[in-house]
A and B are shown apart, each in its own frame.
Chain A
Amino acid sequence: MTGPGPRAAGQGALESARIGVVTFPGTLDDRDAARAVRLAGGTAVPLWHADADLHQVDAVVLPGGFSYGDYLRAGAISRFAPVMGGVVDAARGGMPVLGICNGFQILAETHLLPGAMIKNDHRAFLCREQVLAVQNVDTAWTRDFAQGERITIPLKNQDGQFVADEHTLDELEAEGRVVFRYEGWNPNGSRRDIAGICNADGNVVGLMPHPEHAVEKGFGPDGPQGPRTGTDGLRFFTSVLSTLVRRSAA
């Protein structure tokens, strides 16, 4: 199944885009993330936490899970894994980086993104199909969405409450760096309903919900065409491929 995607941009160019997917001890969703990259038309490159070499990838996904058992704090130990040195340097140099759930927690611990995630305000693990409002379509990972669009992707976590001081929150809002907001119901007490944010350049995006679980009919959330037809997550991955193809054409 191909689905809608930026295939018109040239299949060869897309396939030559190499998206690294990092596996830490305790990562759960690396295979789903790699599959999402392939379904979008790109080439997924497995990266290992203990290998500092990024293997010439053009972008990196830090997938979800419980890296290092979430010991100490979610993402706290992963931040110091050998692979992260290269990821942080590349991100500062403009490489697109997406942190999903535990990956978002890792990006916060590295300070590539501000704030932190603490336990959900209701203190329970939660798994649901979550509606998000897209607030910024100028990032490397969201250009295939429409401003203000409502999308549905799965949310599953225990430490999903985004917190930051008021000054940081005001700054994020003023600079348009709130990329996704929870719509309808705030599932974890996150400040200002924030589900995802980006850095100042828009190449680094982190969010708690899981786009990689909504990329193929039959396996995702319910969609307008019926049960399990939702594929809103696929556009994160087609977005980054569009970003990379545009960059290489420029």
Chain B
Amino acid sequence: MGRVVVDVMPKPEILDPQGKAVASALPRLGFHGFTGMRQGKRFELEVEGPVTDEVLEQVRQAAATLLSNPVIEDVVRVAPAEDHDGATA
């Protein structure tokens, strides 16, 4: 079974209220020195067989049409999952 990872981030020029809220909690917990935080989304898509170029192309299209809104977000990665991506299956 193959897995494809898609990472989506808010565009740099768009204010990220969630990232800001999370960042404001850091100093309260004693984590200092962080000057910013942005929160994105990670999707993991599973397929029966191996991750072929055709599968990747389909995922790229899905990422552009459904998984992200190009007005406010960028798709920053579409790639086959690797071991360090935390595969569990």
Contact = CB atoms under 8 A, between A and B. Distances in A.
A121 interface: yes
A29 interface: no
14 contacts: A72-B66, A80-B66, A108-B71, A114-B71, A118-B10, A118-B17, A121-B17, A122-B17, A123-B17, A161-B15, A163-B15, A163-B71, A163-B72, A165-B71
Contacts of A165: 13, 71
A123 B15 contact: no
A144 interface: no
A31 B29 CA distance: 46
A114 to B, nearest CB: 8
Interface of B: 10, 13-15, 17-18, 20-21, 66-67, 69, 71-72
Interface in A119-152: 119-123
By CB atoms of chain A within 10 A, which of B14, B21, B71 has the most?
B71
Given A116-B72, A118-B72, A123-B20, A189 B15 contact: yes
B88 to A, nearest CB: 22
Contacts, number: 38
Contacts of B20: 123
Contacts of A163: 14-15, 71-72
B15 A118 contact: yes
Q: Is the interface of A mostly helix, strand, loop or mixed?
A: loop
Contacts of B71: 108, 114-116, 163-165
Nearest to A73: B69
B69 A121 contact: no
A170 B82 CA distance: 44
A121 B21 CA distance: 10
Contacts of B13: 165
A76 B18 contact: no
Contacts of A109: 69
By CB atoms of chain B within 10 A, which of A72, A118, A119 has the most?
A118
A189 B14 CA distance: 12
A121 B67 CA distance: 23
